Structure formats: C-alpha cells, structure tokens
C-alpha cells in the first residue's frame, strides 16, 4: 500500500498485535477500520474519544484519497479539548493519521505515557522531530 500523502510504499509494523501501515517518509499512519478500537483496548476514555469524532465540512485542509478505494477522505475532528483533525475513508476502509496524530489520540483515549502503544508511537515520532526542527530553522 502506498502512502496517500507522499505516494511512497508504506511499511507494515506491529503495534501491540495490531498491524499498522507506516510511512517512513512522512511519519503518517494508516489504520484499517476497527484497529483504533483494538489499540485503545479497554482504556477508560476510549468511548469518549471514539464518540467525539465529528465530520468537519468547513476545513481548508487538503483532502487526501483513501489508499484502498481512492475516494476522497472525510476530515474528522477528534477530541473535545485538544482537537486533532484526521482523515476517514467514506467507505469506512480505515483512518489516516498525519505524523503525531495517532500519538495524541491514544493519549486522549486514556493510554498512559508508559503504555506499550504510546511508547512505540513516541519512538516513531522522535525519528521525525529532528528533521521537522531542522526544516523550521532553515525556513
Ligand atoms: Zn508519506
Ligand atoms: Zn476507502
């Protein structure tokens, strides 16, 4: 499967027995339908987070296409306080998270800093933070 943002081939990683597709180039993550629920497991705030998902029709953020069915994905706002804008396939194939977004959402979902999932996502994030910082300085 290719990354819907930069079109590069994604790698499959296992995150606490859930297979995720990860783009090494941009740090984005694709989750098939139902995988976010699996990642959040039995965490306390899971239902609150999942229920907070609201389609955002007014956003100016560029629409990207689903890597499975190629339909334009819907922007969805997650969370009540620290809002994160993710992309959802209109056919419910899955969800796309730009770099760092899944990390923010699992934390919102009640997974602590020391949870296996949170730690792995943080490590993946760290690999890209440096290059982001670097770009910001050069701009
Ligand atoms: Zn990418
Ligand atoms: Zn789709």
- Ligand 2 centre distance from Cα of residue 69 (Å): 4
Q: What is the structure's pLDDT at 126?
A: 65
Where in the chain are the domains? 11-138
Query: pLDDT value at position 125?
Result: 81
Q: Of the candidates 138, 131, 103, which has an alpha carbon nearest to the alpha carbon of residue 117?
A: 103
The protein residues having their C-beta less than 5 angstroms from ligand 2 (an ion) are 66, 68-69, 89, 91, 93
CA of 44 to the centre of ligand 1 (A): 31
Ligand nearest to the CA of 9: 1
Rounded to 10 degrees, the C-alpha dihedral 95/82/11/34 comes to: -40
Q: What is this structure's pTM?
A: 0.88
Give tens-digit pLDDT for 24-41.
999 999 999 999 999 999
Which of the residue ranges 17-21, 57-61, 100-104 would you say has the lowest mean pLDDT?
57-61
């Amino acid at each position: 499967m290719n990354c819907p943002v930069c079109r590069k081939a994604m790698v499959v990683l296992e995150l606490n027995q859930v297979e995720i597709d990860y783009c090494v180039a941009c740090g984005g993550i694709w989750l098939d339908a139902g995988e976010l629920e699996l990642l959040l497991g039995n965490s306390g705030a899971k239902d609150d987070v999942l229920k907070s998902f609201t389609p955002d029709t007014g956003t100016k953020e560029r629409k990207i296409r689903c890597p499975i069915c190629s339909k334009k994905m819907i922007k969805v706002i997650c969370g009540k306080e620290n809002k994160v804008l993710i992309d959802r396939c209109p056919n419910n194939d899955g969800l796309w998270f730009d770099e760092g977004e899944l990390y923010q959402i699992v934390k919102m979902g009640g997974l602590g800093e020391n949870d296996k999932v949170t730690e792995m996502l943080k490590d993946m994030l760290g690999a890209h933070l440096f290059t982001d910082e670097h770009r910001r300085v050069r701009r």
